[in-house]
Amino acid sequence: MDLSEIVAIPGMPGLFKVTARRNDGLIVTSLVDDKTQFVSGRTNLFTTLDNITIYTNDEPIVLKEVLAAIKKNKTAVPDGKDEKLLKTWMEKVLPVYDKEKVHVSDMKKLAKWYSILDSKNLIEELTAEKTAEETAENTEAKKDLPKKESKHIATKGDQGSKATSKPAPVRKITTPRKAT
């Protein structure tokens, strides 16, 4: 599973896994109660978790890295009712977060989302997938390396040898006309 398959929908509590896509919306399954429902794209906005970043003093950090840092830190996630407790928790987890741009409501969302994902054991899967993707990219990179081929291209001085490459045919590109 990837963070691009999990969405947050404003006005609806919890997180949702995208089950299917339609032209007019998404069919989602709640990660809280496992209910599947259709959510219209006309009346709702969808935010995939891979598009979410958290402001820091330097550059924003992707949510995936923040979730991995929370898991690595192994501190108890606060329930979100005490603002001071949330701020101290956030400072332990991500000490470089921007204190002006990251609001308490953002910290509450992060704590709730982490609790939901951790209860489904998705944090390990999302962070372990990073190493699997890196190994897959490394093997693909090796496959994409150009093979050394020796081609003989004819020059004026060559007698009897033919050129092995031909120029590509010229294709005319046309654009459709607008209807009047």
Is the pTM of the predicted complex or chain greater than 0.95? no
Q: At what angle do helices 83-93 and 104-119 cross, to 10 degrees?
A: 70
Helix ranges, 45-98 (H): 63-73, 83-93
pLDDT digits (tens, 9 = 90+) for 152-179: 444 444 444 444 556 666 655 555 656 6
pLDDT digits (tens, 9 = 90+) for 10-65: 988 889 999 999 999 999 999 999 999 999 989 988 888 888 899 989 899 988 88
What tokens were used for 87? Answer: 């701020």
pLDDT at 20: 92
Neighbours of 176 (CB within 10 A): 5
User: Which of 13-27, 66-80, 124-138 shows the lowest mean pLDDT across its residues?
Assistant: 124-138
CB 94 within 8 A of CB 66: yes
CA–CA dist 91, 93 (Å, integer): 6
CA–CA dist 75, 73 (Å, integer): 6
pLDDT at 28: 93
3-class secondary structure for 27-56?
A: EEEECCCCCEEEEECCCCCCEEHHHCEECE
pLDDT at 140: 54
Neighbours of 63 (CB within 10 A): 20
Q: What is the mean pLDDT of the chain?
A: 77
Mean pLDDT of 125-152: 51
Q: What domains lie within the chain, and their CATH numbers?
A: 1-51 (2.30.30), 52-130 (1.10.10.1650)
